Structure 1
Amino acid sequence: MVYKIDFLKDVYEWSITPGGAEYERVTDYTPTIYATYDGRTEDGLSNIRERLEYYPTVVSMVIEQWRRGFRHEHEPVLRIDVRGLADVPSLASRIRRLSEPGEYKLYNVDLSREFRYCLERGRDPTPTRVPVTLAIDVAPPELVNPPLTELTLDDETVTGSPEAILHAIQRRLGQVDPDVLVFSSGEILPTLSEMADQHEVDLRLGRRPGWEQLAERSTYESYGSVGHSPARYNVPGRVIIDRSNTFFHFQSGLDGCLDMVERSGKPLQELGWASIGNVLTAIQIREARDRGVLVPWNSWRHEFFKPLSTLHDADRGGYTFSPEVGFHEDVHELDFSSLYPNIICQFNISPEMIRCDCHADRADVPGLGYSICDERGDLPDVLQPLIDARDTMKQEIRESDDEERVAVLKSRADAIKWILVSCFGYQGFSNAKFGRIECHEAINAYAREILLDTKETFEANGWHLLHGIVDSLWVTAIEGEDQTPLSELAAVISDRVGIRLEYEAAFEWLALVPLRDSDEGALTKYFGKVASEAGDEPEYKYRGVECRQRSTPDWITNAQQELIETLDQSRSPEAVCARLQRQLAELHAGRVDPQALAIDNRASKHTEEYTRATRTVAALQRAQDEGLDPQPGQNVSYVVVDDSKCSRDRVQLAHESPQQYDVEFYADLLCRAAESVCSPLGWQRSDIETYLSDHQDSSLAAFQN
C-alpha cells in the first residue's frame, strides 16, 4: 500500500516497509475529468469532443456510462484524460467558455492531487505499519532571523553554529529514517534549505533530493471567524505535518490521523492539513465512486421553493432551554449519543432524499412538512459505519485494561467524533459537494421535537429539567415526588426515539452561570463537581467560563479553578472572595510570573486595517517591528505591561520575556473570573468589590505574614 505520492517529472508511489521505504515510478498517469451535456442539440458531447480533439493538454477522450447524482440513472458522459495535474483547472475553465452557461456540467475537477491519484488508480494510502516520526521545533523569532542557532529534535534541544545545527539534523535523519516530519512551522523547510545552500551542507530532508512549495499562505473566513492557512511544502518520500496548520493531528494525534486515512482515502500528508469538511467530503466521494456517481465541480443544488411561513419555521437551530441560574445539588447529566448523525441515519435524511417527488404528498419532517424518500440515502450509509465504529471503540475503552490500546482507541474515536460533530453543519454549507440546506433544517426539526418530548417524559417521571442544550440535559429530583430511576427512564426514551440516551455523569453540585449584569442564564456557561467515591481525587467540569476560554492567561485559569475549589469546600461566596483577596495580594506584590499572564489573541485583519488602538493592535505592531509579519487569522501572544498607554509599549510579546505586568489590568481579569464563580450564588461584581473593600487591610497583612 502506498502512503505518499510525489508528483515530480513522473509519479513516485512510496510505500513503507519494516526495513524502511521503497517507491515505484509511474510514467503513464493522466488525471481525468468528466463532462455531461444539458443543451438542446442531440450531439452535444460529440460537439465538445470534436472541439477538444486537438487541444494540446487533452490526451484522450471516450464516452462512458456514469451517474451524475445518486437519484440519476447511468447516462453517456465524456471522459477526458488530461496531460497533467496542472492542466486540469485551465482545461475545465476552457470547456465552460466554449458553451452557454449551464450547458455543460463538469465533474471530478477540483480534487486534491494525492487523493485524486489514489481514487483514480485504486490505491489504498493506509500505511502497512505505524510510520516513524521526527519532530523538528523552532521558536518563531529564530525563523524570523535566520540562520538558526537553536532547535529541538524530538525532545533534544540542539544549539550551536548553523553548520552544527544542519549536521545534527543530518545525523538524526540517518539514525531514525523518519516516514513523517512533524514541524512546528512549515517555514522550517525553506529556512533549513537556504541555510544548507549558504553553508554548503548537503542536507536532504526528503528521501530524494529537492523540495517544493505546494501552496501559498492565505487568509480565509469561516462562520464569521478569520483563519490563516500557512504555506504548504513537500519533500520526496516523507510526509510533512505542520503543527501550525493541522486540525486532526492536533485533536487526535497520529493514530487518529491514520484511522481517518483508512476511512477517507486521503493520504496522510493531505489529511494533516485537511479540514473536517474536506475529510467528510472525501469519505462521501469514495462512497459516490463505489456507486458510479461523479463528483460535481461546484455544488448546484438550489434551495427548494418554500412559503414564508416555512422559511420562518425552518430557520432555527437545535433547541436550547433557558438555564435555571443558581447552585444546584444532586444533578444528573444525560446525553443523546451522536444525536445529529443518528437523526440523519434514523430518519434517512440525505440531500437526494429530502423533499423527493415520489412522496410529495407526505409531511415526514415535524413542523416543516418535508417528505423524505423511503429509499436508503447516501449520507446515512456514509455515517452509520462511523457511528458504529465509534460506539465499538468506546465500549472497548470501557472494558480494556491495556493503557496503550486505550490511548490508540481514544485517538481514533476522537477523530471520528469530529466528523460526526460536523456532518450536520456541513449540510448547510454552500460549497458542500454533497449538501442541501433542507437537510440542515430537517435535522434541527427532529432534534427540537426529540428534546421537547424528552423533557416532558422526565417531568412526568419525577425529574425537574434545570437546563438542556441540543443533545444534553441536566435534571434533578422533584422534591416530594417519586422518581423513575434514570437508567430505566433513559432506556424507555432510547427505545421510543431510536437513539441511545446515555447517562453521562452525576454531579455533587452544578452551578449555572447568569449573563453578566443580568439575571438571565448564559446558555453555555456552567461548572460543577462530578460525584465520586470517598477518597478519590475531586473532578470538576468547566464549560464556557474563563478557565475554558482560549485567550485566558494560564495564571487566571488556575486562579479561577482555585476559586471553584474553594466554593466546593465552603458553599460560601465570602470564602471565595477571601481566596480572591489573597490572589490579588499576590498579584499586587509582583509575585506572579509574567509569562503565566500571556494572552493569546487571533488577529482578524492586517495591522494597518484596524481603526482602534487595541491591545491586539499594539502586539501586532511589536511583532511587525521584529519582522514577524503577522497575518489575519494568526495568533499573537502578549503580556499587558502598561494598559494606560495606547502605543505599542502597552504590551510586550510573550517571547520578549517581559519582567513586569499591569497589576490593575490583570486584577480586573481576575475579578471577572471570580464573578463567574460567585454569580450562581447571587453575588455580582458590586458585592465582590464591597467585600474586598471591607477586608482589604486584614487580607494584605495575612498574605505578608
Structure 2
Amino acid sequence: MNEFTGWLLDLYDDPNGGVCLWLVGDDGHRRMFRQRFPVTFYVKGEATRLRAACTWLEKRSGLLRLGQAVRRDLFEPRPETLLAVEVQHPHDQFALFRDLESEFPDLTYYDVDVPLTIRHGSHYGTFPLVKCRVQASPDGWVEDIEALDTPWDTDPEPPPLRVMELEPDVNPDHAPPSALIVRCDGRSSRLSLQPARPLLINLRVALTRLDPDVILTDWGDTWLLPYLQELATEWHVDLPFNRDEQRRAVFRPERSYFSYGRVVFRGQQVHLFGRLHIDRRNAMLWKDYELPGVLESARVTCLPVQGAARLSPGTGISAMQMVVALRNQILVPWHKQQVEPDRSALDLLRGDRGGMVYQPTIGLHANVAEIDFVSMYPSIMVCANISPETRPGKNLQESLDPPGLVPQTLSPLLMKRVLLKQRMSRLPAWDPRRRLDRARISAHKWLLVTCFGYLGYKNARFGQITSHEAVTDTGREALLRAKETAEDLGFDLLHMYVDGLWIAKPGASQPGDFEELLERILDRTGLPIVLDGVYKWVCFLPSRMDERVPVGNRYFGVFQSGEIKVRGIEARRRDTPAFIARVQMELIEHLAQLDWPGDEGAQELAWGAVRIFRCRLDDLRRFRVPLEDLLVAQRLSRELEAYRTPSPGALAAMQLTKIGKTLSPGQKVRFLYTLGSPGVHAWDLPEPPPINAINVRQYEELLIRAADTVLKPFGVDESMLRSLAGSIPAVQQPLRLFQ
C-alpha cells in the first residue's frame, strides 16, 4: 500500500467503472487514481408499484443491490421507508434512473441527479482542492482517502497550481484573430494562427513543457478551443488539453433561460479532464473575484471548479444544501413536489411585503453615517432558524426546533466571511493577503445574496415561499427596531433601504460617535451591524419622471476617507457608453474635493466641474473620443422575430443576422448610434461606420443627462448645461479620425 499527500484537482466518473481522481502532489507530481464508488438513489411509491420496479430492475445490468432504507423527506413530518437502488458504477446510474422513470413515471425519485463531487464530498469529506491523504494500491486504486482540511478553514495551505493563459489577439466576434497570445511562467509569446501546423506544434510543446493545471482563456469556450481542436483534427496533431488521454473534452451547448425577471444567456462550454479550463469571458462573476474567488466558490459549494466558474450562485447554494442533506440522510428530490398552498388575497398582502424601504430625503446632506446589517437575510435565517422544516422564532427570538437544513448550510459560510472581513480590516494596505481575502469575501457575498431569493424560488429543491416571507418579515422588524434605537439616541433618519440606514446627528461625524448606537441595535435585534462609513456629504436623487418623488437606490456621495459610492446613476448602468460613465465619475471625483457644498470655494469648484463638462463635450464634437468608448451594450430579451417594435439592440442584432452572425436571447449586442435609418450600427459588422455617420447629437444628449444627474444638486441644472452646450461651436467636419 502506497501513501500520497496532495490537493484534489479533479474528480469525475470513469466509464470503465468507479471514479477518477487527479492529485497535485506535495512532491510536485500530478497523479491519477481510480476509486470504486457505488452510488445509491431512492424510490417512493405504492408497495405494488415498488415490487414491480424491483422485478424490472433485477433484469438490468450494472445493478449492485436492491434494499430498503429509512430516509427523511424534508417536507414530511417523519422519516419514510424507501426502495434503495445501489448502482455499481456512477457512470451508469443516471441512465438506469431515466429508463426506470420512463417505465414507472408514477413513482417519486430522490438523489438521482446529485453531482458526483457532492456525493463523494458528503461521504468522504472531500471537495475541490482539498488537501488530502490517499492510500492506494500499486496499480493506482484508492483504498482510503482522508481530508486534511475543511472548506471553512480561513488559511488553507494553497495548492501549487501551474496556470497557462491563452487568448486571441482580438475579440473573434468583432474581427478574425491573427495570433494567439500564450502566457506562462511569467513570460508571454505570440503565435501566428497561420500557418496552422507550426501553431499547433508550438502550442503542443508549450502544453507538454508546462503541463498546466489550469488553462485560463478568453473566448475559449465559444471560439478558441473549438477552433484549435478543429485545426488539430485537420492537421493530425494531438493537442494534449486533457491530462486523461482516455477522455475527450466535453462540449456543452449554449442556452438561454429566464431568471429573476430577465433572459440570461450562457455560451457553449468546454470542460477538460485532469486539467481545469476556465473561460474568463464565459465565467460567472469573473470581474468580481477572478481565479481566487472561483477556487473559493468551488471549495465551499463542493462543485467542480470548471462548473463553479460557470454556474450561478443559486446553483452553488443548492449544491451546499445537497451536501448538508446527504450528510444528514435527508433526501434530495429530483423534482420539487411541494406547491404553494392556496391563500386569500389578504393573506398574500400580509405575508409577501418584501423588504422595508423608507424613502430618502432628497438633496445634499453632510456628515451622514451609513450603517448596515451584516448579511442581514442570511443572518436572520441562521439566528431565527428559518428553514422549510422548522418553525421560525418570533420577533427575532431563536426557534425551539433543532437547526434546520438552511441554517446549517449558511452558518459556517457566514462565520468564515465574518472572520475574513475582520482580518482584512486589520491588514495593512500593502499586505498581499488582502487581495486573496477580498476575492474570497466577494465569492461568499454572492452566495449569501442569492440564498434569500433561492429560499422562495419555485424550483428550489429546499425552497418554500412561507420561509422566504418569514425572512422579510423578520428583516422589517429588525430595521424598525434599528430605526427606533437611532431616534431614541437623537439621530435623524434620512433613509432606510432593506438592510441599511442613513442617519445624521449634529456633532456626530467620527466613527466613535456611532459605537453606542451599533451596540444597542445589536442588543435589540441580535443581528450583527457595522458602520459602513461616514459621508462628508451624500446626495439622494429624485426620480427623473417626477422630481418630487425620491428613489431609494439612486444616490452618490463621498466618505471621509475619500472613497466615492454611487448607486443607480448612469455610471452604474451596464448600457451606458464608457465615455459617458467616465465623464460622470470624473465630475463626481472633482466635486469630492468639497468637504461640504456650503463651504467657501464650493461655487468655484462647482464651476470647475462645468468646465470639465464643456471640455469633454468639445472632445466629443471634435471626434477625440475612441469609437470603443461610445459603444452601447444591450441584452436581447427575446428572439428577433418576436419584437414588434425593435429596440436599438434588436436592430443591431438584425444587421448581424444578415451576415450570418446569429444572437440568442440573453446575449448582449454592441452598437453605435448613427445618423439616418436604422439609427444604429452593430459593432461586430465587418466594417466600422463612416466617421460622419456617428450621431454625435445622440451622445450629447446622454452626456448632458449624466452631467445633470450630478451637477443639479450643486446648482447647475439641465437647462444651464444645454445653454453652455449651445455656446460651444459645433464642428461640421471631423478634425481627426476616432482612435
> Structure 1-normalised TM-score?
0.88
Aligned to 1:68: 73
Distance 1:625 1:485, change over 3 A: same
Q: CA deviation at 1:423?
A: 1.0
Q: Are 2:483 and 1:452 aligned?
A: no
1:595, 1:654 within 8 Å by CA — same for their partners in 2?
A: no
Distance 1:479 1:644, change over 3 A: farther
d(CA) in 2 for partners of 1:142, 1:479: 58
**Higher deviation after alignment, 494-503 or 119-128:** 119-128
1:623, 1:629 within 8 Å by CA — same for their partners in 2?
A: yes
Q: CA deviation at 1:221?
A: 0.8
1:323, 1:512 within 8 Å by CA — same for their partners in 2?
A: yes
d(CA) in 1 for partners of 2:452, 2:458: 13
> Cα deviation per residue 1:163-195 (whole Å; 9 max; x = unaligned)?
232233223212321111122221322210111
Q: Say how many residue pairs are matched.
A: 676
> Cα deviation per residue 1:282-336 (whole Å; 9 max; x = unaligned)?
1111111111112111112332454432211112110111111111122111111
Q: Are 2:268 and 1:241 aligned?
A: no
Q: CA deviation at 1:491?
A: 0.9
Distance 1:589 1:698, change over 3 A: closer
Q: Which of residues 417, 421, 445 is equivalent to 1:390?
A: 417
Aligned to 2:54: 49
> Cα deviation per residue 1:338-358 (whole Å; 9 max; x = unaligned)?
111111111111110147xxx
> Cα deviation per residue 1:556-586 (whole Å; 9 max; x = unaligned)?
1111112223444564565544432222122
Aligned to 2:147: none
Q: Are 2:711 and 1:678 aligned?
A: yes
Q: Which of residues 253, 269, 272 is equivalent to 2:290?
A: 253
> Cα deviation per residue 1:110-159 (whole Å; 9 max; x = unaligned)?
2234444555676443254142221212367647987x631222354433
- SS of match in other structure, 1:204: coil
Q: Which of residues 146, 155, 161 is equivalent to 1:131?
A: 161
Distance 1:687 1:316, change over 3 A: farther
Q: Are 2:545 and 1:540 aligned?
A: no
- SS of match in other structure, 1:316: coil
Aligned to 1:201: 237
d(CA) in 1 for partners of 2:112, 2:483: 48
Q: Which of residues 174, 180, 190 is equivalent to 1:151?
A: 180
Q: Which of residues 216, 219, 238 is equivalent to 1:182?
A: 216
d(CA) in 2 for partners of 1:612, 1:31: 53
Q: Which of residues 618, 637, 645 is equivalent to 2:677?
A: 645
1:599, 1:637 within 8 Å by CA — same for their partners in 2?
A: yes
Distance 1:238 1:100, change over 3 A: closer
Counterpart AA for 1:645: S
Q: Which of residues 310, 316, 330 is equivalent to 1:279?
A: 316
> Cα deviation per residue 1:363-407 (whole Å; 9 max; x = unaligned)?
9369xxx99653322211211111111111111112224622222
Aligned to 1:435: 463
Q: CA deviation at 1:688?
A: 3.2
2:456, 2:467 within 8 Å by CA — same for their partners in 1?
A: yes
Distance 1:692 1:234, change over 3 A: closer
Aligned to 1:108: 111
d(CA) in 2 for partners of 1:452, 1:484: 23
d(CA) in 1 for partners of 2:504, 2:685: 45
Aligned to 2:635: 602
Q: Which of residues 15, 20, 23 is equivalent to 2:32?
A: 23
Aligned to 1:3: 9
> Cα deviation per residue 1:223-250 (whole Å; 9 max; x = unaligned)?
1111111222233311121223322544
Distance 1:145 1:470, change over 3 A: closer
Aligned to 1:500: 528
Aligned to 1:633: 666
Distance 1:679 1:601, change over 3 A: same
> Cα deviation per residue 1:631-665 (whole Å; 9 max; x = unaligned)?
2212222222x2432166x4544985667332111
Q: CA deviation at 1:67?
A: 2.3
Q: Are 2:579 and 1:555 aligned?
A: yes
1:309-324 equivalent positions in 2, closer than 5 A? 309-324=346-361
1:167-566 equivalent positions in 2, closer than 5 A? 167-185=201-219, 186-187=221-222, 188-209=224-245, 211-247=248-284, 249-354=286-391, 364=394, 374-401=401-428, 403-477=431-505, 485-519=513-547, 520-532=549-561, 538-566=562-590
Distance 1:116 1:484, change over 3 A: closer
1:107, 1:295 within 8 Å by CA — same for their partners in 2?
A: yes
**Higher deviation after alignment, 453-462 or 275-284:** 453-462
2:175, 2:686 within 8 Å by CA — same for their partners in 1?
A: no
> Structure 2-normalised TM-score?
0.84
Structure 1 residue ranges without an equivalent (≥5): 356-362, 533-537
Distance 1:566 1:398, change over 3 A: closer
Distance 1:6 1:337, change over 3 A: closer
Identical residues among aligned pairs (%): 28
**Higher deviation after alignment, 28-37 or 378-387:** 28-37
Counterpart AA for 1:636: V
> Cα deviation per residue 1:417-437 (whole Å; 9 max; x = unaligned)?
111111111111011111111
d(CA) in 2 for partners of 1:113, 1:292: 17
d(CA) in 1 for partners of 2:729, 2:100: 80
1:604, 1:632 within 8 Å by CA — same for their partners in 2?
A: yes
2:653, 2:682 within 8 Å by CA — same for their partners in 1?
A: no
2:481, 2:524 within 8 Å by CA — same for their partners in 1?
A: no
Structure 2 residue ranges without an equivalent (≥5): 1-6, 132-158, 595-600
- SS of match in other structure, 2:67: strand
